[in-house]
Amino acid sequence: MTTPAAGRRVWLITGATSGFGRSLTEEVLRQGDIVVAAARGIGRLDDLKSTYAGRLFPVTLDVTDTARDGAVVRETVERHGRLDVLVNNAGRTQVGALEETTDAEMRSLFELHYFGPAALTRAALPYMRRQGSGWIIQLSSVGGQVTAPGFGAYCATKFALEGLTQTLSQEVPGVHFLIVEPGAFRTGLFGKDAAYFSAPMPEYAETVGATRTYVETGGGSQAGDPAKAARAILTVMSSAKPPLRLVLGGDAIDSIRQRLAGLQDELSEWEDLGRATSLDE
C-alpha cells in the first residue's frame, strides 16, 4: 500500500479516456492529486503516463460489470489507503422513441447509466463513511431534468440516477454528493459510432427525426468547453457551501429554468384540486 502525500486526494474516475472524464483527469493531475483512471480501453491514457508517473493509475473497467466495480474500489483503497472522490462519468448517447427502443437496448443503457454507478457508489460508501469524508460526483445531464423526443431512455436513466443521488445526500452524513448537469459540450458523445440509434419507425419521423439529425450531425458544434467544466467542478468542491446540483452551460441553465417555471405554473393551476383530495373530517 502507498500512502498519498499530505493534502493529496485519491480519485477514481470512470470513462476517463474521453470527454468530461478525460478533461477532469487531466485537471486533477495538474493540481497534484492521484487518479485511478478507469475505462474499457486504457491505451488512450498512454500519453499521460510519463508526465504523471506515480500519480496516474489506469485500470480496465466496464462499469456494467458490477462485480468488477466493487473490486476496483477495494483495490484502489488497498493500494492508496483511501478513496476521496468517486466520479461516475462513463456513459453514452442513445436516441429512439419508446416504441423504437427494444427491452435489451433499454436495459443496457440502465446498466451503464444507473446500475453501474449505483454499484460503484455502494462500494465506495463504507470507506468514505469510515473516513468521515468523501465526494461522490455523478455526471448526469440537462437530460436529468429536461426531456426531448427520442431521448426517453436516456433521460429515464439520468432521472433515476439523480433521484438516487438526492436521496443519498439525505441519508449519508459526512459525504458530499454532486450531480453535474451539462448541456451541449464538445465531447465525443455525438461522434461517429459514439451514439446509439434504435431502428427508426416512420411514424416518429416528425417528432424524433429532428433529434436523430441533431445527434448525427451536431458533433463538433457544441458551445461547451469540457476543460472549463472540469475546472467548474473543482471550484464547487472547494466551496464552503457546495450545491447538490451543478448546471453547466447557458443552454442547460435556460432549459431547466424554463422547466421549473412551467412546473410552478402547473402546480399553481391545479393546487386547489390536489388539496381537495384529503379525507373529509
Show which residues are catalytic: 140, 154, 158
Residue type, 188: G
Pick left, alpha or beta for residue 32 (phi over 0 → left; psi -120 to 50 → alpha; otherwise beta).
left
Who's near 239: CB < 8 A, 6+ residues apart? none
Angle value at C-alpha 260, between 256 and 265, nearest 5 degrees: 150
Helix (H, G, I), strand (E, B) or coil at 143: helix
Closest-CA residue to 187 (of 268, 92, 269): 92
Q: How far is CA 146 from CA 38, 83, 156, 253, in A?
A: 29, 32, 10, 11
If we measure between CA atoms, which residue out of 219, 250, 247 comes closest to residue 233?
247
Residue given cell 500519480 in the structure block: 55
